[in-house]
Chains A and B, each alone.
Chain A
């Protein structure tokens, strides 16, 4: 059996003495979609940021694709990886943000080619060809010359997904990708994500879209106050929550 894409054992993270993650255990198998739900401040973003090493976790074991995040185990010791290795690791994990974070000074096409050209040293023509393919895939081939400020929120988020996909990631992290969108724009972004899930991409999605979780996710984790309170098949967990906290949370968001 192959190693899981993401494995967390007792992951801890504190900010200035305040424990935000208090022993997270989670496993994400290859090709699976995992949804992460939980109240505001429960540590969902922090967990995602630890997985692609935007933040350093303080304790516990965190593995992506079998490798420890940020460290290398050699001869019974842990060696901290240098910046270059960390950047190389990160480039294989795509991240999509709540507020899109497209590069404002670059056109849609340039947003998608810059990582390929500058990080992966791909020739500019090849990068452009790949960018056009991805734009077609997210349904925005007509917008390549526009700047992000000229697009709607939904369009910007689809470009952001294309930008992440351009790095050929083995894992995609989504941090509330539809929370900043007007209700009528949520569907177009979820459609792209469903399509991506069907293609076999491994995804971790922080979301409040319970419909999406029920329909697409293979597993669901409910995070509360820095611990996984409940997890399992979303079609079971969402219908018959065992813990009181999840029941209260669901009654608020549904």
Chain B
């Protein structure tokens, strides 16, 4: 190797044989799976038709995954109605969970021992029992209480009267059960966010005369959001799928329940489960994209340079790949003279 003058020295990159083999194996597996997705299988039946007096027969074959049936049911009103119910349950239960969870987190961090103990017990109970059991519990709550009245005892003053039997319709049971359970998880997520904010921020806010609630609203919560959001996105996606447990209370026709009703009539179990799965996947995908942008918004100020958007990243990736093909096989560097 000479390093005099302007000689360019050839640099031969290391070849990663193992990586090529692994990539080949993965590619073959993906191809096999892809093939089964679009393959057809014989049904064992033959179809005959007569043309010009001559009967011709051939084997009938079908998509292995019955795509025609999937496609047929994908946008039927029964499935779409179920999807709507699933979305409603997710949004309402998640809203209850986030609002109540935030409140419980603040209580948990309160200097008042009674408040923090109450919050701890709530989380302990709702995290410690299966959500399915809780749904069954709310479904049968009328066995314990027929009605709840809030007012001043002995004075016959009533502010709020709830008839438990009438209130706990299947839909209400579902959102109460899912929402209260979610609040326990959200409170832990919110708490971890709140305690992640540097104590100096609180001191600074206090020193300019902010009250405790102003400090919480204007300084702590906005900064805690950066920590709270990613796991909350996770919780939303998890809730979307957990709503399928409302089967426990019966009478709520969510997405899974709708396809169950359809396949119990026509026995096309797999295609209809695929219909439901595809819808869950689509909604999850949309949620993930939304989550990305919300997180980006709340990352303001936390990073010196904000991360690129997926589109920007795709553009850089493509440019990188294009660059690889354009440059010569062996990169060359100029030797120092």
Q: Which residues of A contact B (CB under 8 A)?
A: 52, 54, 83-84, 87-88, 90-95, 97, 99, 101-107, 114-115, 118-120, 147-150, 160, 163-164, 167
Q: What is the bound-complex CA distance between A132 and B214, given in angstroms?
A: 24
Contacts of B214 in A (CB 8 A): 118-119
Instruction: Using A87-B211, A99-B200, A103-B219 as known contacts, say yes or no to A149 and B206 having CB atoms under 8 A apart.
Output: no
Contacts of A87 in B (CB 8 A): 209-211
Contacts of B204 in A (CB 8 A): 95, 97, 101-103, 160, 163
- Cβ of B10 < 8 Å from any Cβ of A? no
Distance to closest chain A CB from B109 (angstroms): 17
Distance to closest chain B CB from A70 (angstroms): 14
Distance to closest chain B CB from A16 (angstroms): 16
- Cβ of B7 < 8 Å from any Cβ of A? no
With beta carbons under 8 angstroms apart, the residue of B200, B201, B218, B303 that contacts A114 is B218
Instruction: With CB as the reference atom, state the residue of chain B lying closest to A102.
Output: B204
- Cβ of B49 < 8 Å from any Cβ of A? no
Q: Is the pair B210, A149 in contact by a Cβ cutoff of 8 Å?
A: no
- Cβ of B328 < 8 Å from any Cβ of A? no
Identify 15 new A-B residue pairs, CB closer than 8 A, beyond the known A97-B200, A101-B203. A83-B211, A87-B211, A90-B207, A90-B209, A91-B209, A94-B207, A103-B201, A103-B204, A103-B223, A104-B223, A105-B300, A105-B301, A114-B208, A119-B214, A167-B208
- Cβ of B302 < 8 Å from any Cβ of A? yes
With beta carbons under 8 angstroms apart, the residue of B208, B211, B303, B304 that contacts A115 is B208
Show 21 residue pairs from A and B whose CB-CB distance is below 8 angstroms, ordered by the A residue: A52-B207, A54-B203, A54-B207, A90-B208, A91-B208, A92-B209, A94-B208, A97-B203, A99-B200, A103-B204, A104-B201, A104-B223, A106-B301, A115-B208, A118-B214, A119-B209, A120-B209, A147-B301, A149-B303, A149-B304, A164-B207
| Nearest 10 Cβ contacts at the A-B interface | A91-B209, A147-B301, A101-B204, A101-B200, A115-B208, A95-B207, A119-B209, A105-B301, A90-B209, A87-B209
Q: Which residues of B contact A (CB under 8 A)?
A: 198, 200-201, 203-212, 214, 218-219, 222-223, 298, 300-304
Distance to closest chain B CB from A197 (angstroms): 20
Distance to closest chain A CB from B215 (angstroms): 10
Instruction: Using A99-B200, A104-B201, A119-B214 as known contacts, say yes or no to A149 and B301 having CB atoms under 8 A apart.
Output: yes
Contacts of A52 in B (CB 8 A): 207
Contacts of A93 in B (CB 8 A): 207
With beta carbons under 8 angstroms apart, the residue of B203, B206, B208, B222 that contacts A105 is B222
Instruction: Using A91-B209, A115-B210, A118-B218 as known contacts, say yes or no to A105 and B200 having CB atoms under 8 A apart.
Output: no
Q: What is the bound-complex CA distance between A170 and B203, given in angstroms?
A: 19
Instruction: With CB as the reference atom, state the residue of chain A lying closest to B222.
Output: A105
Instruction: With CB as the reference atom, state the residue of chain B lying closest to A92.
Output: B209
Contacts of B218 in A (CB 8 A): 114, 118
Distance to closest chain A CB from B111 (angstroms): 13
Contacts of B212 in A (CB 8 A): 83
Instruction: Using A103-B201, A105-B223, A105-B300 as known contacts, say yes or no to A163 and B208 having CB atoms under 8 A apart.
Output: yes
Instruction: With CB as the reference atom, state the residue of chain A lying closest to B202.
Output: A101
Q: What is the bound-complex CA distance between A118 and B209, given in angstroms?
A: 9
Contacts of A118 in B (CB 8 A): 210, 214, 218
Q: What is the bound-complex CA distance between A107 and B300, given in angstroms?
A: 9
Q: What is the bound-complex CA distance between A88 and B205, given in angstroms?
A: 13
Distance to closest chain B CB from A169 (angstroms): 9
Q: What is the bound-complex CA distance between A94 and B222, given in angstroms?
A: 23
Q: What is the bound-complex CA distance between A223 and B304, given in angstroms?
A: 40
Contacts of B207 in A (CB 8 A): 52, 54, 90, 93-95, 164
Contacts of A88 in B (CB 8 A): 209
With beta carbons under 8 angstroms apart, the residue of A105, A120, A164 that contacts B302 is A105
Instruction: With CB as the reference atom, state the residue of chain B lying closest to A110.
Output: B301
Most buried by B among A83, A93, A104: A104
Q: Is the pair B304, A150 in contact by a Cβ cutoff of 8 Å?
A: yes
Instruction: With CB as the reference atom, state the residue of chain B lying closest to A104.
Output: B301
With beta carbons under 8 angstroms apart, the residue of A104, A106, A119, A150 that contacts B208 is A119
Q: What is the bound-complex CA distance between A92 and B214, given in angstroms?
A: 17
Distance to closest chain B CB from A100 (angstroms): 8
Distance to closest chain A CB from B332 (angstroms): 38
Most buried by A among B211, B212, B223, B301: B301
Contacts of B304 in A (CB 8 A): 149-150
